[in-house]
Amino acid sequence: MDLGLKGKVALVTGGGQGVGRRICIELAAEGACVYVNDLFGERAEGVAEEIRSMGGEAYAAAADITDPEQVKRMVDAAAARSGAVDILVNNAGIIPERREKGGLTPYFTETTPNDWKKIIDLNVYGMMHCCSAVLPGMQKKKGGKIISIMSEAGRLGEARMAAYSGAKAAMLGFSKALAREHGRDRINVNVIALGAVSHEGIKSGPLSTAATPETDERLAKMLGVYPIARGLGRLCRPDDISGMVAFLASDRAAYITGQSIGISGGFAMI
């Protein structure tokens, strides 16, 4: 299926590793010119270089998306070189540390305003800064796609992840409102909700790519939580997600907007 992304300009936040990296690679393989954003310039450059070595077009776009000035500079620089952004993927987000370290995150009553702020700054304000920076260009072009990566924690609520669940739920409400405001501009706004995802950026614990159900008791338990994981014998991987992002970024999904699509192996059937 040709998704028609050739010539489109895409910006992916947090594209330097994990889910974002794979999304960048997939969009580039579909012909988009990809701006790989990351807080860490060397990560962004590494992925941009990887894409170029595969024959795609990509540029590193280092910026801290919690800072609106840096976001505006990044989006303006991309527009000056390649034209206004057509596809924005809000991927950068904080994963509660429990996932990597295997320990338990604290209950809400044991956390502080500073803990909540970090999570909300990146997941909510980071997304808003990026949307605010790309929307005028999309309106002028009369078209655009915004896809944001949330978590099933935001649709269902997860104990010991109250601030994260709240922040991810905010992404959903915000995206639905934007979808209503910008339908007239032919801008589609959708959200993808993930369960646990294993990838190369996670170095230890059940989500690391080295973990197996035989060697990691927690992974064995987690596999029981996701209906399809019981059959596949594995957790979700970034390439289970990137195809849906590419589809939503295309006009094959022109009539889909304001939706949250779960890629979580049947964890939440809503």
Ligand X SMILES: NC(=O)c1ccc[n+]([C@@H]2O[C@H](COP(=O)([O-])OP(=O)(O)OC[C@H]3O[C@@H](n4cnc5c(N)ncnc54)[C@H](O)[C@@H]3O)[C@@H](O)[C@H]2O)c1
Residues annotated catalytic, as ranges: 164
Interface pick for ligand X out of 12, 28, 43, 188 (rule CB under 6 A): 43
Q: d(Cα 135, Cα 184) in Å, to the nearest integer?
A: 13
Q: How far is the CB of 205 from ligand X (least distance, A)?
A: 10
Q: Contact region for ligand X (CB under 6 A) — 16-24, 105-113, 139-147, 211-219?
A: 16-24
257 binds ligand X (CB under 6 A): no
Q: Which of residues 106-125 bind ligand X (CB under 6 A)?
A: 122
201 binds ligand X (CB under 6 A): yes
19 binds ligand X (CB under 6 A): yes
20 binds ligand X (CB under 6 A): yes
DSSP code of residue 217:
H
Q: How far is the CB of 159 from ligand X (least distance, A)?
A: 15
Q: How far are the Cα atoms of 28, 57, 264 from residue 4, in angstroms, in the given order? A: 12, 15, 27
- Residue 117 or 140 having the CB closest to ligand X: 117
Counting Cα atoms < 13 Å in the Cβ hemisphere of 40 gives 8
User: For 195-250, where are the E strands, in sequence order?
Assistant: none
Q: d(Cα 98, Cα 134) in Å, to the nearest integer?
A: 33
154 binds ligand X (CB under 6 A): no
How many residues at the interface with ligand X, by CB under 6 A?
30
194 binds ligand X (CB under 6 A): yes
Q: Measured at CB, which residue is nearest to ligand X?
A: 93
Both tokens assigned to 19: 């889910």
Both tokens assigned to 170: 């905010």
Interface pick for ligand X out of 93, 144, 205, 265 (rule CB under 6 A): 93
40 binds ligand X (CB under 6 A): yes
Ordered DSSP codes for 125-176: IIHHHHHHHHHHHHHHHT-EEEEEEEEHHHHH--TT-HHHHHHHHHHHHHHH
Beta bridge partners of 236: 197
Q: Residues interacting with ligand X, by CB under 6 A?
A: 13-14, 16-20, 37-40, 43, 64-66, 91-93, 95, 99, 122, 126, 149, 151, 194, 196-197, 199, 201, 207
